[in-house]
Amino acid sequence: MQLSYFRRVAAGGAVAALAFAGVAAFTASPAYAATSKVSVVHGIPDTPVDVYVNGKKTLNNFKPGDVAGPLNLAEGEYDIALTKPGEPVGSAILKVDNAEVPGGANISLAAHLDAAGKPKITPFVNDVSKVDAGKARLIVRHTAAAPAVDVRAGGTPVFKGLTNPKEAKADVDAGTVKADVVLAGTDTVAIGPADLNLKEGTATIVYAIGSAEDKNLDVVAQTITGLHSAPGGVPSGDGGQAGTGVQTWWYALAGAGVLMLLGGGVRMATARTGRK
Amino acid sequence: MTVRNCGALAALAAGVAALTVATLVACNSQPAGNVGAEEASTLAASATPSAADADPSVPVAAGELPAGAGIVPPVRLVIPGIDVTATVNAVGINERTNEFEVPPSVDQIGWYRYGPGLEADAGSVVIAGHVDSAKQGKGAFFRLRELDQGDTLTATGSDGKAREYRVVAREEYAKTKIPLERYFARDGKPRLTLITCGGPFDAKARKYRDNIVVTAVPA
């Protein structure tokens, strides 16, 4: 049992390592960007862990449903290991060696169950591009031991056929929506419903976690702030009563004034000359 | 005195009068001018984390769904110096233009509901109002450009609490050049930013060229 569990975990680690390589390949890293922001999301039910990065304990007794970070990690390769709380790094229950962290990215490492219920670590690159004024970004990640799902907002499917370990995302109007997760193509509610408060200028990342079989499906949420944009402008007047700067009539008046001064002066001068 | 001389004198007098009027108009049409621009930009600067705190105590939070934070919208703004007492509405973005949705009624002003509220300990609370309107005449912020450093104003929140502010800057920008990200920032020192229109008016496009921006800090 112990051995088979270890094998399972090791296999999971190999998959995660491949996924990391994928992240590195797909993330263009500008030469100047040295560090990445890395968050860790715990989505394995009933399994608190210690998290080691390069052999150094980074998180103590990290609990399911918690989100840690962001850590600022320099671009490079990292060994990440999860142990049962208090156990040495040598007896890790889940590990990824030589995980590549690209520079200048925002990454979430999700420790979760795969579709078959095996623990694994999946790195996700977070879209931290700016959202338009008035908008919020919703990202949903399927990280649960469950089949394909649809995500509904106000009863209408917004993301369809999402499978583990994929994500779906959209920029939507900021505000509160009632959301739930159903088995793909059905009305069978798997998670929720819950009120999602999508704050303007943020990304709300919702992870579906747990296991359908064990009836402990749940969600973990991570929020990234500071993605807001300013409005395009502030139009606040069309009357013209407060206009500064001079108008066309001003030039006409000033021009006429100058002409009259000149004309009058010349006439005075010629008149005087004439009288002499 | 000859008739001819009289005509010349009259022309001179008229010329002087015309130029005097023109000069007066030009003087009154000067832009309000900028004060405190540097202070305003300093307020927007946010503390950048140093590279030294790259490690350790990693923050850990429960991954709960985000709840609505206790934002306190301003509901009333009083600026004694320019006789303003105005109702503040919570407004957002005009979907069509992607611009700030200033309340259509010119005696009301709008608070940008996506930005910080009065409770915030960082960032810029933005309130914008009409300088005027072709149909309704002068707006609540008609005299905003008369505000100067040291003038005080009071913003009352939906919690009933009145908060005093002191003007530190008044700036005028062409709408094409205004650094809106700075005025709509959610970081930096807590401040109140009042915006209206100003500058030369384009009668054909029915638009002002500039925005007037007043920055105030908690008094």
Place of tokens 């079989």: A213
Cα(A66)–Cα(A112) distance, integer angstroms: 12
Domain boundary among A90, A106, A126: A126
* Whether residue A92 sits in one domain with residue A39: yes
Query: Residue B52 pLDDT more than 50?
Result: no
Radius of gyration of chain A from Cα atoms?
Answer: 32
The CA-atom distances, in angstroms, between A15 and each of A104, A105, A238, B60, B73 are 24, 21, 62, 26, 49
The segments of chain A whose pLDDT lies below 70 read 1-33, 245-251, 271-276
Residue A105 lies in a domain: yes
The CA-atom distances, in angstroms, between A208 and each of A149, A150, A167, A220, B93 are 10, 11, 10, 7, 32
* Whether residue A119 sits in one domain with residue A138: no
Pairing of strands A203-209, A135-142: parallel
Q: Please report residues of B whose CB lies closer than 8 A to that of A200.
A: 114
Distance from CA of B104 to the nearest CA of A (A): 9
Residue A256 lies in a domain: no
CB atoms B100 and A66 under 8 Å: no
State mean pLDDT over B141-152.
96
Nearest Cβ partner for B114 among A67, A201, A263:
A201
| A-interface mutation test, from B60, B142, B184, B214, most A Cβ less than 10 A away | B60
Distance from CA of A196 to the nearest CA of B (A): 7
Residue B12 lies in a domain: no
| A-interface mutation test, from B27, B53, B65, most A Cβ less than 10 A away | B65
Q: Give the list of residues 6+ apart from residue B24 with CB closer than 8 angstroms, or none.
A: none
CB atoms B19 and A226 under 8 Å: no
* Whether residue A65 sits in one domain with residue A8: yes
Instruction: State percent of chain B over pLDDT 90.
Output: 70
**Is residue B186 a contact partner of residue B122, using CB atoms and an 8 Å limit?**
yes
Phi, psi of A9 (to 5 degrees): -65, -40
pLDDT score of B47: 63
Q: To the nearest 10°, report the CA torsion of A161, A164, A170, A174.
A: 110
pLDDT score of A268: 73
Nearest Cβ partner for B200 among A66, A244, A265:
A244
CB atoms B197 and A132 under 8 Å: no
Nearest Cβ partner for B31 among A244, A268, A271:
A244
**Is residue B118 a contact partner of residue A221, using CB atoms and an 8 Å limit?**
no
State mean pLDDT over B42-46.
82
- The domain spanning residue B92 has which CATH number? 2.40.260.10
CB atoms B175 and A233 under 8 Å: yes
Residue B83 lies in a domain: yes
pLDDT digits (tens, 9 = 90+) for B71-106: 999 999 999 999 999 999 999 999 999 999 999 999
Q: Please report residues of A whose CB lies closer than 8 A to that of B186.
A: 201, 225-226, 228
Residue B2 lies in a domain: no
- The domain spanning residue A156 has which CATH number? 2.60.40
DSSP assignment of B122-190 equals SSEEEEEE-SEETTTEE-TTTTGGG--TT-EEEEEETTS-EEEEEEEEEEEEETTT--HHHHT-SSSS-
Q: Please report residues of B whose CB lies closer than 8 A to that of A257.
A: 14-19, 22
* Whether residue A116 sits in one domain with residue A190: no
Q: Among candidates B182, B149, B183, which has minimal Cα distance to B166?
A: B149
* Whether residue A213 sits in one domain with residue A96: no
Neighbours of B62 (CB within 10 A): 10
The whole domain housing A186 covers 129-230
Q: Please report residues of A whose CB lies closer than 8 A to that of B173.
A: none
Residue B94 lies in a domain: yes
